[in-house]
Each structure stands twice: as C-alpha cells, then as structure tokens.
Amino acid sequence: MSSAPSPAIEMRGIEKSFGANPVLENVDFSVSVGEVHALAGENGAGKSTLMKILQGVYQKDKGEIFVSGSAVEITDTFAARKAGIGMVFQEFSLIPTLTVAQNIFLTNEPTRVGLIDDAKAKKLARGIFQEMEVDIDPERIVEYLSTALWQLTEIAKALAQNAKVLILDEPTASLAKHEAEALFALIQRLKAKGIAVIYISHRMDEIYRIADRITVLRDGSRVLTANLKDVTPAQIVEAIVGRQAAAHLVHQDRSAKISQQVALEVENLSAGPKLQNVSLQVRKGEIVGLAGLMGSGRTELVNTLFGILKPSSGKIKINGKELSIASPEEAIKNKIALIPEDRRAQGLVLDHPVSENLTLPLLDRLKKFGLLSNKKILQRSKEIIKQFAIKAAYPTIRVGSLSGGNQQKVVIGKWLGTNPEILMMDEPTAGVDIGTKSEILDLVRKIADDGKSIILISSELPELLSVSDRILVLKDGRVAKSLNRSEIPNEEFLQLAIQGAA
Amino acid sequence: MTTRANISSAMSLLKRFEWRQNIIYIGFIAVFILFAVLLGDSGFTNPNNLLNIFRQTATISIMAVAMTYVIAAAEIDLSIGSVAGLSSVITAMTLNSYGLIPGILAGLLVGVIAGAISGGLVALLKVPSFLVTLGMLGLVVGVARWITESAPVPIADMNYIAIFGGGEFGPIPSLLIWVVFAVSLGALVMNKTKFGRHVRATGGNLVAAGYTGVKTAQVKFTVLLLSGVVAAFAGMLYAGRLQSGRFQWGTGDELSVIAAVILGGTSLFGGRGQVVGSLFGALFIGLINNGLILAGLDVSQQQVVRGAIIILAVALSRKK
C-alpha cells in the first residue's frame, strides 16, 4: 500500500453491537479512487453490517467515516447517498411496478413546473446507459427485466445519484457466464472513471480477476488486508475460515465405496429443446457431478428426473426397472429426492418453524390416531437437526431467521429425512459461506458412503472436483463429455471442457 | 417496408398491452352495449338515466380515487363507509346549529381525525391497516348512532344542498363536477408528482423504497389521512343529495369502492395505481346496478347477480 492513491472512503475503528452481541470490533476499511476492493468473510462475519453502516441503514456505535478525506456522519440512507455511496443490493432494491427510468430517478425525479418530467428522466437514463455501454429500454417495467438487466439498472441508479463508491454485494450470484463477463467489463470502465468499487463475493476466481485489494473479516474483526498480487488463494481461505485449512476442497478417492450395482439408468432422455438424448448411469454410492454453462441443460435434466418436466422420449430405469415419472410425487415414491436451486422459493416455507419445514415430506409417518402428533414432529426434527448440525436455537424457530447456510442444511435435512436412494442437488452451496460449504460437501460424501447415489450440480468447479467420482459435461442439452475424476488433472482442464474447446 | 415497420410496431404495442390494467375499459364498453341493446326499450340509453348512473355512483367514484392511493401503497381502508356516515351526521348537526362554513369544516374534521388515527397506528406502530380500519369502522358507526340516537338529521340549508350534491350548475349536476375534479386531480398527482410516485414505490417494494430514501411511513400516514378526508367529503355529498345526515349513509361502500379500484386495474398487492381506471370501475358497478333495476330484478336478485359479476370481473382483471 506504498503508493496508495487518495481514499474515496475510509472507515476507522468501527464498532457495532446488537444488544450484547458485538458484531464489529475495531474494523478499519478503506477503498481508493478507481480501486476495486474485495470484501470477504463467512456469513455472519460482519460484512453486511459494515456495509449497512456505510449506507446509513445501521448506525455505528464507535469509529469514524471519511469521504474523500473529510469526516462525515452517516445518519440515514439519505446522508449516505449525499456522500456519494451507492449500493447494489444482493436482495434487489428496485420497485418492480415502476419503469426503469422511474426507478433510476426515484426520490430524485426531474420536474417541470412542479410536475415530474418523465420525458427528461427517460433521456437522462438513456445517457447513463450509453455511458455504461449497455442497452436497456428506460420505459420497460422493471418486473419484466432479466436479473442481469435488473442489476445494471441498479448500477445506473447509483450512478445517476453521482455515486463515487459502488457497493456490489454478490453481484454474479444469479448471472449467467456472459452476463457476468459484461458486468466485469463494466466494472473496469467504472474504475477507469475513478469510481471506487467495494466488491463482496465468496468466489475466489472473480476476486482475483477484478479486485485490486482484499479485506477479510472474521467474527467481526479485520483479519487480512492485502494487495491481491501479494496473497495466495490458500492464504485468503485460511483468513476466512480460520486455521482449519480448506481440506474440504481436496479430492478424496472413493472408488472403493462405489458398488457395481447401477441405481439409476437414463437412456436417450429428451425433454423440450433444452434436453436432448441424454444417457447416463449412476451406481450405488457414486457421486456424479454435472458441469456446464448456464442453460446447458443441467437443471432441466434433474427436473425431468424428478417429474417436474415431462420427457418427450427416452427411458428412466431405477434398479433395472423401467419407470415413468410424471410428477414429483411419483419421484418421491420411487425414492428420488431433489434439492432445488432456489431454496427460498422452492425449498422452504420461510415463515414456518424449522420443525415444520423438516417434517413436511414425512407427515404421513408422524401421526397418532390418524392425527398429526406434535410430539413426534418435534422428536423427528430434533434428530435431523442433530444429524446435520443445523444451528437453530430451538426446533420451532422460524427458518427465515437462520443464516443462509443453515437454511440450506434444513432443505437437505428435509429431503434426506425421506430416505431417498437417489439424491439430486442443484447448486447446494450457492450463497453459502465457506464453513457451511465444507460441512455440506462432507455431508454429500457421507451420504454417498451410506450407499446412496448422488447427482450434484455446481458452478463452482473446485467444489465439483473435490466431491465428484465422475463428471458429466453438458452442452446445449447434450452430454458433451463423461469423465472419470482421475481423468481430470486440474480445474483448467475441466473449464476448457465446459467452454467446449473441443 | 413502412407497412411492415408499422405492423411490427403495432405488434410490439399489442405485446406491451397490459391486459390486467385495461380490461375495465373493454368490460365497460361491452356491458354498456349489451344493456343498450337489451334494455334500450326500458330507457337505459335515455340521457337522464345515464346522468343518473353518474350521480348515483358519484360518492363511490370519489372515494375510489383516494382508495386507489391506499391500495397502491399496499394498504387498505375499510372504514370509509362509516366515516362517510359519521361525517354526514356531524355536518348536518353543525350546519343546523352554527351555519354553512362551520358545518363543512366539522364534516371534514371527522375525516381528518379518523384518517390521522388510522394512519398514525399504521405508520408508527406498524399495525396492519386491515385491522386498524376494521376497528375504526365499528368505532365510527357506534359514535354516529350514539350522537343521533340512530335518527336522521334533516338539512334545510339550500346553499349547502346546491353545492354538495343536490344542485346543478346550468345543465351539469354539481356531483358530476366534483367527480371530474377529484378524478383529474387524483390522476395528475398519481402520475405526475413525486408523492404519487412515492406511493407506488412504497407499495411496490417497501424495503427498496425505504433504502432509496422514500419516507415510507409518511406516505402510509398520508394516504390513510387522505382516504379519511375524502370519505368524509363523500359523506357530505350524501348529506347534500339526500338532504339529511344519517349513520347509514355509506354503509357497505368500502366493498364497492375496493371492488371498483381492483376492477380498474390497481393491484391489491400494491405498486400500481390507476385513478381513471377506478372511476370506470365505479361506473361499471353503477351500470350493472342500473341495468339490473331496469331489467326488473328485485333487490335480493340484484345482490346475487352483482356479487357474481364482481367476482367474475375481479378474477378476469387479475389474469396476467
């Protein structure tokens, strides 16, 4: 940090407690003009609290904040915006029923004789998009936009407010590869214009790609700040998780534990345009990874096997017996389980207690005299909570109040409670912190060790490489390659296979 | 070339056509034509009858303007009918004792008090507006019955009657003028001012609006206050048209008003607000009432048919 240019934002000695719980202790953080500064740490390490203090959502207990060298008090979101701090939220922050232009200028509307001048707003919005070099129609209603355009609109909104600092919170979490590329290019352009970017991410490859410096928080304290060219990924991971090395990412040879018996066999399965002539076999105790780009047909494949999508042709055999699976109900009856991609929308009733979520697929077994037995439900829930080390204060706590990682464990626990023979998981570690990630991956191995068959979709290649016994690469709805783990020397090789270099 | 461009631009216009928000206009025209054909002989198309529909729905139309704001902000106000009743009573009583201006002010004050209490509880204590205004409904009716001992209060002031509901300016009934004024002002504020925009932002995504700097609590308070005042004003129109104040005036109007707003294309989930649509929603309900009477149905049959039509229409307007 010898030739550090002038800091756009500097936070010094920030402290914050919620009740008796200290969440930030003496944290220093700064980001320079034209710098991309990555902020990493497990969920609950204090990243979001620190950023919320910067945006005026929370008030710090102690410490100072400087914007362009002068001390400011950020008392509310208004003050933050006036100081030039723009946030692109992880949980998106646009009004779905308004147009793009109306959202960009919300609370900042251009007016003529006291009335809102929508024509001018439209023109200004066009100007901003031109400068960003993106093409979005300012008159579109936001709820009809794709996630990527939604996010770009948020960035435009921040820029329209003359943001000098942009906070991007897991911006690529729901973007396709080419959309993420476009975002990175945009970040480079913003950087060149002198905008400071705070980039919150769990993804190491992205951090190395676009960030200049990184700061890691653990348990509310700053444990690392470094130029990225001076640190290795291993050092960063160690800073994030503490001393325990990233053992979960080391591949363990499980070939001895895989049975010869084929549990699931798929022949020439097709469904719609996105799945064509897919054949595969999964043996008992085997973990098969599905790799591929967004839209390559991975999700469609597991959805078809689970009866959500209807196959147009092909055969599905379980333990050698041909079956037709027309609905999730039939899939469950045949001991197939799917842990879906979007756990909030598809996997959990967030407002309900953990115990009810866990036992929802098992209610038939938890009756007494034909009525549901609360005692049995609680007992079963406690067993699952213990088995999967779910951090819930008590079984009847709302699922929505748990951390993302623990929510995901509830989803997994819910489906494993049904004792499936074939378990399919679609991006089970998305948005989950590293500690929980390693627990989930260990869990996957353990389930397979018990003789279950697993199909795992993941966009994070190190993860896929660490648990899979075999990896199928899907492309345009077809199986482009089927590779034994031992045939894959490293991540680059798999990456090339996915990009379809062949 | 140009025709092709025209066709494709027409197609994209068609694609953008918001079925849910505009079905009310189609429905209105369809029902109007249907009644004109079926009931033409019974005097449906008679200008006097049409003007009557307008007059009878005037109070619903005006309250629907304010309710559009309440629903656009993702709140609800169930107390408007009873606030109208109490306001008619208070206006009549004050008018008879202290004269025209005090009467008008007292009536409006009823709306200010009821709206401010509901708005305050919703905005500050975050009590759901459904519960607050349901309680307010009962409370206000109780007060109105209590102070009048459930009897009507006659109004003799001809100036009051002329301005509020009974009179005419030339050939135009004063009620019509009030409706046009309320709808125009309501539509302008909704579409062209920061307040209207912020109401829709609050209802569209409360958290996002708050983070963007919209004062969401203030917005909620204001829409409920507005709804109370407008309901009180509607009560004064009842008092003018019916030449008396009575606690029953407005009873049950909240349901017609909410139906009118939803029919007009405003989402019950908030974020959208179609003031002109709400007017047509109200007129649509009036049209049906009128047609059913002309068709010779008795009151109980009217209720059944009206209920069925409203359910059908709301179901259609919800279709994406």
pLDDT at B137 over 90: yes
- The answer to whether the CB atoms of B209 and A106 lie below 8 A apart is yes
Q: What is the pLDDT of residue A205?
A: 81
Partner residue facing A95 (CB), from B188, B204, B267? B204
CATH architecture of A246-335+420-502: 3-Layer(aba) Sandwich (3.40)
Pairing label, strands A470-475, A313-318: unpaired
Domain boundaries, chain A: 7-243, 246-335+420-502, 345-418
Q: What is the DSSP string of A413-427?
A: HHHHTT--SEEEEES
Q: With CA atoms as reference, report the closest residue to A161 among A112, A68, A96, A88.
A: A88
Question: How many Å apart are CA B157 and CA B295, to the nearest integer?
Answer: 37
Q: Which amino acid is at A183?
A: L
Partner residue facing A94 (CB), from B200, B205, B272? B205
Partner residue facing B272 (CB), from A55, A97, A111? A97
* Backbone angles phi and psi of B209, in degrees to 5: -60, -45
Q: What is the pLDDT of residue A89?
A: 63
Question: How many Å apart are CA A468 and CA A474, to the nearest integer?
Answer: 15
Residues of chain B neighbouring A93 (CB-CB closer than 8 A): 205, 207-208, 211-212
CA angle A29, A30, A35 (to 5 degrees): 135
At A122, is the pLDDT very low, low, confident or very high (cuts 50, 70, 90)?
very high
Minimal C-alpha gap between A126 and chain B (Å): 20
Q: Which of residues 78-117 of B touch A (CB under 8 A)?
A: none
Average pLDDT on B96-123 reads 96
Average pLDDT on A109-133 reads 91
Residues of chain A neighbouring B271 (CB-CB closer than 8 A): 95-98
At A498, is the pLDDT very low, low, confident or very high (cuts 50, 70, 90)?
confident
Q: What is the pLDDT of residue B66?
A: 97
Q: Which structural domains are found in chain B, ordered by start?
A: 17-318 (1.10.3470)
Q: Which amino acid is at B130?
A: F
Q: Which chain B residue's Cα is nearest to A108? A: B194
Q: Which of residues 194-213 of B touch A (CB under 8 A)?
A: 194, 197-198, 200-201, 203-205, 207-213
Neighbour tally for A490: CB within 10 Å: 9
- The answer to whether the CB atoms of B211 and A95 lie below 8 A apart is no
Residues of chain B neighbouring A116 (CB-CB closer than 8 A): 191-194, 197
- Out of A220-224, A234-238, A439-443, B1-5, pick the least confident: B1-5
pLDDT in tens, B257-295: 999 998 898 888 889 899 999 999 999 999 998 998 888
Average pLDDT on A338-364 reads 79
- Which of A284-288, A377-381, B52-56 reaches the highest mean pLDDT? A284-288
- Top pLDDT among A368 and B111 is at B111
- Per residue in B62-91, is it b (16+ CB within 10 Å) or e — as a string? bbbbbbbbbbbbbbbbbbbbbbbbbbbbbb
Residues of chain B neighbouring A109 (CB-CB closer than 8 A): 194, 197
Whether residue A113 lies within 8 A of chain B, CB to CB, comes out as no
Q: Are B302 and B311 in contact (CB under 8 A)?
A: no
Q: What is the pLDDT of residue A245?
A: 46
- The answer to whether the CB atoms of B205 and A116 lie below 8 A apart is no
> So what's the ipTM on this one?
0.80
Question: In whole numbers, what is the pLDDT of chain A averaged over residues?
Answer: 85
- Which of A253-267, A269-283, B184-198 reaches the highest mean pLDDT? B184-198
- The answer to whether the CB atoms of A98 and B212 lie below 8 A apart is no
- The answer to whether the CB atoms of A115 and B212 lie below 8 A apart is no
Question: How many Å apart are CA B314 and CA B319, to the nearest integer?
Answer: 9
Cα separations in angstroms, B124 against A74, B79, B219, B271: 23, 19, 11, 21
Neighbour tally for A309: CB within 10 Å: 17
pLDDT at B17 over 70: no
Cα separations in angstroms, B281 against A277, B165, B226, B275, B313: 53, 21, 20, 10, 10
A404: left (phi over 0), alpha (psi -120 to 50) or beta: alpha
Minimal C-alpha gap between B138 and chain A (Å): 31
Q: Which chain A residue's Cα is nearest to B208? A: A93
Size of interface A-B (CB pairs under 8 A): 68
Q: Which of residues 145-204 of A touch B (CB under 8 A)?
A: 157
Residues of chain A neighbouring B207 (CB-CB closer than 8 A): 91, 93
Minimal C-alpha gap between A242 and chain B (Å): 34
Question: How many Å apart are CA B8 and CA A161, to the nearest integer?
Answer: 36
Neighbour tally for A279: CB within 10 Å: 15
Cα separations in angstroms, A328 against A239, B175, B278: 42, 59, 43
At A127, is the pLDDT very low, low, confident or very high (cuts 50, 70, 90)?
very high
Helix (H, G, I), strand (E, B) or coil at A145: coil
Whether residue B188 lies within 8 A of chain A, CB to CB, comes out as yes
- Per residue in A213-234, is it b (16+ CB within 10 Å) or e — as a string? bbbbbbebebebbeebeebeee
Whether residue A69 lies within 8 A of chain B, CB to CB, comes out as no
pLDDT in tens, A141-179: 998 888 788 888 988 998 888 888 999 988 887 777 788
Cα pseudo-dihedral B7, B11, B17, B23, rounded to 10: 80
Whether residue B220 lies within 8 A of chain A, CB to CB, comes out as no
pLDDT in tens, B222-248: 999 999 999 999 999 999 999 999 999
Residues 6+ apart with CB under 8 A from A10: A29, A30, A65, A66
Minimal C-alpha gap between B198 and chain A (Å): 7
Minimal C-alpha gap between B196 and chain A (Å): 10
Minimal C-alpha gap between A107 and chain B (Å): 6
- The answer to whether the CB atoms of A97 and B211 lie below 8 A apart is no
Whether residue A116 lies within 8 A of chain B, CB to CB, comes out as yes
- Top pLDDT among A188 and A255 is at A188
Residues 6+ apart with CB under 8 A from B283: B28, B53, B54, B57, B61
Whether residue B9 lies within 8 A of chain A, CB to CB, comes out as no
Helix (H, G, I), strand (E, B) or coil at A45: coil
Question: In whole numbers, what is the pLDDT of chain B averaged over residues?
Answer: 89
Q: Which chain A residue's Cα is nearest to B204? A: A95
Residues of chain B neighbouring A96 (CB-CB closer than 8 A): 204-205, 271
CATH architecture of A7-243: 3-Layer(aba) Sandwich (3.40)
Q: What is the pLDDT of residue A91?
A: 57
Question: How many Å apart are CA A453 and CA A444, to the nearest integer?
Answer: 10
Q: What is the DSSP string of A284-338?
A: TT-EEEEE--TTSSHHHHHHHHTTSSPPSEEEEEETTEEE---SHHHHHHTTEEE
Question: How many Å apart are CA B253 and CA B269, to the nearest integer?
Answer: 21
Helix (H, G, I), strand (E, B) or coil at A260: coil
